Structures are given as structure tokens and as C-alpha cells.
Structure 1
Amino acid sequence: MSSLLLEKLVTEVRRYQNKDFLHAAMAVCAITAYSDGEVSIEERYSIDYAIDNIEALKTFDPVRAIEILDDYIYLLKSDAEGVKAELYKKIKIFEGKYKRSRTLLRVAHLIICADREVDPREQKEFAMLCNLLGLEANKLWRQIENQKAL
């Protein structure tokens, strides 16, 4: 088998394995960015950074990831509570998977801190996401903040 074909096959398998993670990550991005009622340019830059730098998302076309994100944000604007419930289901798939859950919450933290102002609604959403994934919000927030300081 040619190495190019094998490489392509490995990429496709990774993409398939990470499809749920892509949707969960874009759901986290949409919910977190829109939690204060708007999506700032700083939040969009943070999302782009996450898409380009999270290993589990690198196998996907960034344009496709942004399309998913934009769809989720559009839907949140039209029916926030109903859509949020559906997006929570995509995220909850990773409950009990500590490393994936922690990565999703690091993305949420990155977006929340993007504009250097932590809105109480964003903090509340972070706590909700932690609860959804079975993690303790205050402990995880402190852990992420401590890692940023290093």
C-alpha cells in the first residue's frame, strides 16, 4: 500500500473518530461566546486559534468547523434555550472522558477570557458546562488560571 494512501486513510479514520469532538467543541464555542448575548471579535479570534491548535481538531477543514460554529450561533440567536439543550447533548457525550472534557473546558475558558472581561453570564455558563461534564467548576477554573500563569 502506498504511503500516501495509508496517510490519507489514517487522516480519515482520525476525522471519523473525532467527529463528535468537533461538534462538541463548536457547541462549547458557540454557547460560551454567545452566553453574554453577543460574540465579540476577540472571542472569534480565540475560536479560530483553538481550531488551528487543538490536535483533535487539526484533521478537520477549519472552514467546515467555522460553518458548524456559525450554524450553532445563528440557531442560538433564534432560540437560545431550545438550541442550547440540543448543544448540551453534543457536549455531554464526553462526560466521564476527563482529558476530552478538560480540553473542551479549556476552550470555554479561552473564549471567556478573550476580551479580558469575565461576564457573570460567561462564568455561569462555564459552571454549567463543568456540571454537564461532571467536573468541579471552581477547581478547574483555578487549575487553568494557574497554568496560564506559568
Structure 2
Amino acid sequence: MNVMDLLKPAAVRAISAASSKKRMMHDIADIAAGAYGLNPDRTVEALMERESLGPTGVGHGVALPHARLAGLDKVVGAFLLLEKPIDFEAVDRQPVDIVFALFAPEDAGVEHLKALALVSRTLRDPAFCDKLRANPDPAKLYTILTEVAPVKAA
């Protein structure tokens, strides 16, 4: 599995301003609706339900919100680069500016976990995140994200 398997070019955006975590979740839902035909209201609801279990801000300015949704036949993703970082209740209490959301079918088992592990490992590299932050053009972001060599997920 690699990032290209999870992401469409239409699901990659740079956003100049998200005023809050909830607003950013709406932005993700809108992107997922356009790229994958997901219901934006249900997507926001599912993301917020997952966040209520514990924040998905993993540290170093990165968040990995994720949810299971009806109507999907495979795991898909949406990527946001925020010009102005927002509070995401991250484990290191740092604001977030890189967001990679994952959406899995309701009955997804190991594939969902493999995708989460892949994205987590990819975004754990500070040099890679710096490269993303330096390229706010969605086409360049997509290229950077999908040129990553496949990583074996646990």
C-alpha cells in the first residue's frame, strides 16, 4: 500500500484559514464530498464522534483524523495544509497545520489500520513535513505525498 492508493488529486488542498478544529472538519468533509461523493454532514459527524474518543493530533503539527463511513468500498484520504495552524488538542499541545484524514468502510478491518500506519509513518519524518509546508500548491503537495516510497505497514 502507498499514499497514491489512498488519495486523489482532488482531495489535496491548501487552506489559508480554518478558524477552529470543527471548521477544519467541515473543510475536510467538503473535500471528501467533492473527491469521493461522501455525505458532508455524515462525514463531519463521524469525524467528531471519533475525536470525542481522543484527539487525533499526533504531534509536531500533524493530525490524522479518521472515521468509518457507509458507502465506501476502500480506504480513502483527504489532505489539508493549513496556512495558519490551529489548536487540535494534540498530544504535544502544538497547533496543527498538516492534516491527513482517512475514511474507511464501516466493515474495514486491517486495511484501515494499515492505511493509518502508513500515513503516520510518512508524516513522522520532520524533513518530509517541512517539504510539504514549503509547497502550498495542491498539485505539488499531491506529487510530494504520492512520490513517497511504499512503506510496509505493520
In which range does the TM-score fall when normalised by the shorter chain? 0.3 to 0.5
Structure with the higher fraction of residues in helix conformation:
1
Structure with the higher fraction of residues in strand conformation:
2
TM-score w.r.t. the length of structure 2 is 0.36
TM-score w.r.t. the length of structure 1 is 0.37
Q: Which has the larger radius of gyration?
A: 1
